[in-house]
Each structure stands twice: as C-alpha cells, then as structure tokens.
Amino acid sequence: MNRRSLLLAATAVAVSSLPLAACAGTPKPNTLTEAEKTAGWELLFNGKDTSGWRRFKGGASGWVVEDGALALKAAGGGDIVTEQEFGDFELSIDWKISPKGNSGIMYFVRELPDTDRPYHTGPEAQVLDNAGHPDGKIPSHTAGALYDLIVPPSDASKPIGEWNTARIVVAKNHIEHWLNGVKVADTSYGDDAWKALIAKSKFAAMPHFAEVPTGRICLQDHGDPVWFRNIKIRKL
C-alpha cells in the first residue's frame, strides 16, 4: 500500500470513529448555531447550571443539572420559572419523562398574590408517559396537548427513555404546539372561541388563567422525574 492509500485509510478510520452527530454536523446540546443566533434565538439553559431559573414564588429549588439536562429527580423540587418574562415567542425544548411520569411546560405564568400554582395563570404543553400514566387515557391530557383544552390529533410522543422535541409558538393571538415535528395543537387566543374552550375546562374556575399574554416559562414538578435540555427561545 502506498503512502496516499495509507493516508486515505487512516482518514476513513478517524471519520468512522466520530459520533454520528459530529459527522452529520448536528450541534451539541445546549448550544446555538450561527444561523440560530442570527435569527434571534437565545438559550434559556446553558447545560451547566440553573442560571436563569428559580423556584416559582421563591425558595430553594430541588432541580439539578445531570448529563447536560435540567433534571427533577424527586418530588419536592418545586415548579421552576424563568427569570425573564416573554410575550409573543417561539420556544423549542427537548424533554424526557420517567416511566408513568407526568410534567409540563407552561407559559404566560404570573406570580400573583392570589395564585399559588403556575397553572392558575399559564397554559400548558403536556409532558407525559402516554402509555403508563392514567392521564394518557384522557385525550386532552396526553403528551403535547394544550392541557385540558386542545386534543392532539395523534400520539406524536416517543417511547420512554427517548428525547422528545416540543415547539410552542405564541404570536398574534394564536397558539401552536408541535411535538417531534407534528402539530398537536392549533387555536386562536383571547377571542370568544378561546373563552369558550376555557369555560368547558378545569380553568373556568381560575379567574387569572391566560388573562394576560405575557409571563414566565415554567417547568412543572408533578412529582415524577423529568429531564429538559436544548431550551431555546426567540421573541416574535
């Protein structure tokens, strides 16, 4: 084998030993590409610590960083919210839930004197083990749903142990939820149709629910282990 052949063979071995993501040019978790930066995306989680997050209404948080993910390992960690507030936005976030687990991603969350839980003010994109949790039998409570308001057209969630990618778009009085590339909720916001949805839901008794189209992003402690990463947002 000549020198050129040896060099080509060595290069082939080196490339084959790289992770698939590196070969495909997939960015590392919790980073932004140059294109994303140009488009106005910003990270809400740096993959190293809980900077930018705090417990809802204050106090110690039990969330930790584990293998580049923002993790709730046991009940009692508390719901956590962003330090920033957002109006119209596009949010992208990866989640992974434990067997029989339940959690959620809320937005427009406000900390008012007469509200003691984030869901009293903020709509929720459901995070759920559809097959293992009892809520999987309630259509408007399944993974990706606009919780208790909009039923996903199909189950777009991945099996337990795999990462799901959720995308929430709120702009111009319109809400979309996407899960793994599938649109799972699509509705107007703030109009008569929206008010009719609320009137038929558990939120009818919560006067501040979705009252104002601005607030904090919230990750829910529903008592089950859950992991989040690649939390990115851009203001619209």
Q: Where are the domains of the chain?
A: 28-235
CA dist., res. 13 & res. 18, Å (int): 9
Residues 6+ apart with CB under 8 A from 87: 213, 214, 235
β partners of residue 106? 124, 218
pLDDT confidence bin for 25, thresholds 50/70/90: low
Length of the chain in residues, anyone?
A: 236
What is the pLDDT, as a whole number, of residue 27? 80
For domain 28-235, is the CATH number 2.60.40.10?
A: no
Whole-model pTM above 0.85?
Answer: yes
β partners of residue 2? none
CA dist., res. 178 & res. 164, Å (int): 10
What is the average per-residue pLDDT within 33-48? Answer: 98
Is the CB of residue 62 less than 8 Å from the CB of residue 74?
A: yes
pLDDT confidence bin for 26, thresholds 50/70/90: confident
CA dist., res. 157 & res. 59, Å (int): 33
Residues 6+ apart with CB under 8 A from 128: 97, 101, 102, 103, 135, 136, 141, 142, 143, 157
What is the average per-residue pLDDT within 216-230? Answer: 98
